[in-house]
Structure 1
Amino acid sequence: MVAGSPTTAVVTSWVRDAAAAPSMHNAQPWLFRYESEGGLLTLRMDPTRTMPITDPSTRGLHLGCGAALFNLRVAAAHAGWEARVRARPEKVAPEVLALVTFEPVAERDAVAGLHRAIALRRTSRTPFSGETVPEPVLEGLRGAATAEGARLDFADDWRVQELLDAVWDAEQSERFAPGVREEIARWTAGREGTEFEGIPSSSLGPRRYDGRAPVRTFPGHDARRDREGAVFEWAPCLAVLGSRRDRPHDWLAAGQAMERVLLQATLDGLSTSLNSQALEWPELRWLMRDPRSATAYPQMLLRFGYGPAVPATPRRPVEEILTVE
């Protein structure tokens, strides 16, 4: 082990925190390898967890892995270390997303204060109350995105309807695309082997009986009679996270920005949910962009509000995602 590098036990705890990040349908598409002699941690995509139909470019996969990378940075900072990240390094295998080394620091990075939120953050598919999120809180979330090189644009009433229209169009496209539905069904409740991955029944939330909040339906589950309906918000608080460019490097950065926003929102007492449905269709993705925004490429639709506590989704054992050499 290089003098001054973190121990395997410490890095293992950081990777466990990293794996608490959200990912598309909770597929958890990340793998880590720690070279204890050199103090190098490698983040790579897990090729068995790609979604060739709904995420052929792996943009969504990069967002999830970026979120995991941000959690890793937070965990390291909380322990008094700086995670030095080389994202999408050249001259390495294409599945390698980042190389990370660690340096002890005298003063903790500001992101260390987000550590408590890692274990508390949830993706909520339940109705939120009608309580308005205060503008100072929204401004703080914008700042969180900006700090990671992204932009968070909150939608006014006019934009909310445009976003909802795009999500509705995506739902209709999905309804008539058997391949898409089969791929989504692979990662949702009801299939075998979902103990540590995917979206369990307990996290699906109720069916939307009324209201305007974008709530994703999942093949084979929305019509279940034992799944009760509920009225969702009529004036949802929606925002689009965007980036200036649209390369794999930018997707990874956008994932870090997304997680920084989500962790800050969690500390602010907000419930959050993510919706990528319209973004999975190239012809609809551009409808998600606000023409008044300085960002050209929408990456994720986020919903904020005040809602009930929800259970955590399952996570793969750290032994399954981390290799130590």
Structure 2
Amino acid sequence: MSHSYPDQDTMRAALALAVRAPSVHNTQPWRWRVGDTTVHLYADDTRQLPHADPDGRDLLLSCGAALHHLQVAALGLGWETEVHRLPNPTDPQHLAAVEFHPATPTPEAERLARAIGQRHTDRRRFTSWEVPSTYVDAVVAASAATGVVVRDVDSARDRATLLRFFERAALEHAADSSYGAELARWSGRHAAAEGVPARNAVVADDPTTRVFASPTLPEAVIHDIDDTARMLLLCTSSDDRLSRLRAGEATSAVLLTATTRGLATCPLTEPLELPDIRAGIRSEILADFGYPQVIVRMGWAATSADQVPATPRRPLDDVVQPL
């Protein structure tokens, strides 16, 4: 490859980091095609969840997170990216074409790239330590840079309302046998290179925690149960495919920025997967301003808690092919 395009080893390193992005049920619903001058991202609709994600919104969020991970990884390796989103109107699965230009990474860019390997979804309770407002401002700014607004759900009324919607979603899903069967297929002992392994799922009494199959991750031992985790609601002005893709990019930006500050995070989508509950969140918390796309729980993990194991990923050659 030329000096104006990453060599093969650099490209594989960037893609190996890109696929560390979080995805719904760790389905990893993406395909990458590497050309002579560009890398292309495609949605893998065969990995869409028909019961948890019937309209494919979570799939687009997942692919958007991987797209942003690629941008961060490439810059950390010395390559700035130019992204063309939804470049082919005749192929809805073609989500992005990415071009590369040599660049000198800043220290912050290098920190973000390192955060990809440090970030893990932590479904355990967080401590009562307050998250500094400057940290919240940093993640809000990171999301805004992608064009997505973050609403910090900080009032007691709005937090109670949001928790009520989480409880409603859990009850509806618990009564849906098809959803339960799908969740069982994508979690627990069946999870290998995909899905949520039992070791990454926790038995918890927190209504925001999705109930995966056969959880074995120990809950953090926290003596102060006054959880002051921040609940961040990412929302977009529209609800089209591009908005959902960008919301996935913003989710990645929020998670990685929080990780560079030492914070634990957990992206949450369960109440947004049910149209009536999502509409309720939009009405009661956003006052019909914007469309809620994802919720991020952010706070301090207990210092005594073990590190969350890394979730598995499919082999790179399974998701990357030449153009």
TM-score by length of 2: 0.90
Letter in 2 for 1:298: P
Per the alignment, residue 170 of structure 1 pairs with 169
Per the alignment, residue 18 of structure 2 pairs with 18
Q: Does structure 2 retain, via aligned residues, the 8 Å contact 1:80–1:108? A: no
The CA deviation string for residues 164-202 of structure 1, in whole angstroms up to 9 with x for no partner, is: 0001000111111111111222211122xx221111111
The CA deviation string for residues 63-103 of structure 1, in whole angstroms up to 9 with x for no partner, is: 11111101100111112211111111134422111111111
Compared CA separation, residues 291 and 127, structure 1 to 2 (3 A): closer
- How many angstroms apart in 2 are the aligned matches of 1:284 and 1:124? 24
Per the alignment, residue 272 of structure 2 pairs with 279
Letter in 1 for 2:68: F
In the TM superposition, what is the alpha-carbon distance from 1:229 to its structure 2 partner? 9.3
The CA deviation string for residues 26-58 of structure 1, in whole angstroms up to 9 with x for no partner, is: 1111110101xx312111111221112221221
Aligned mate of 1:262, from 246, 249, 255: 255
Give % identity: 32
Compared CA separation, residues 90 and 323, structure 1 to 2 (3 A): closer
Tell me if 1:87 matches 2:85.
yes
* Root mean square deviation of aligned Cα: 2.3
Task: Give the aligned length.
Answer: 315
In the TM superposition, what is the alpha-carbon distance from 1:317 to its structure 2 partner? 1.1
Aligned mate of 1:196, from 193, 196, 213: 193
Q: Does structure 1 retain, via aligned residues, the 8 Å contact 2:126–2:227? A: no
Q: Does structure 2 retain, via aligned residues, the 8 Å contact 1:207–1:229? A: no
Per the alignment, residue 9 of structure 1 pairs with 9
- How many angstroms apart in 2 are the aligned matches of 1:304 and 1:185? 26
The CA deviation string for residues 287-325 of structure 1, in whole angstroms up to 9 with x for no partner, is: 223655795100111111111431111111111111125
5 Å-filtered alignment, 1:31-46, equals: 31-35=31-35, 38-46=36-44
Q: Does structure 1 retain, via aligned residues, the 8 Å contact 2:127–2:229? A: no
Q: Which moved more, 1:312-321 or 1:4-13?
A: 4-13
SS in 2 for 1:167: helix
The CA deviation string for residues 99-152 of structure 1, in whole angstroms up to 9 with x for no partner, is: 111111356596444111000001001111111111111111111111111111
Tell me if 1:29 matches 2:22.
no
- How many angstroms apart in 1 are the aligned matches of 2:48 and 2:173? 18
Q: Does structure 2 retain, via aligned residues, the 8 Å contact 1:124–1:272? A: yes
Compared CA separation, residues 153 and 13, structure 1 to 2 (3 A): same
In the TM superposition, what is the alpha-carbon distance from 1:241 to its structure 2 partner? 0.8
- How many angstroms apart in 1 are the aligned matches of 2:25 and 2:261? 25
- How many angstroms apart in 2 are the aligned matches of 1:291 and 1:126? 25
Per the alignment, residue 207 of structure 1 pairs with 204
**Structure 1 regions of 5+ residues with no counterpart?**
none
Per the alignment, residue 94 of structure 2 pairs with 96
Per the alignment, residue 238 of structure 2 pairs with 245
Compared CA separation, residues 306 and 318, structure 1 to 2 (3 A): same
Q: Does structure 2 retain, via aligned residues, the 8 Å contact 1:207–1:230? A: no
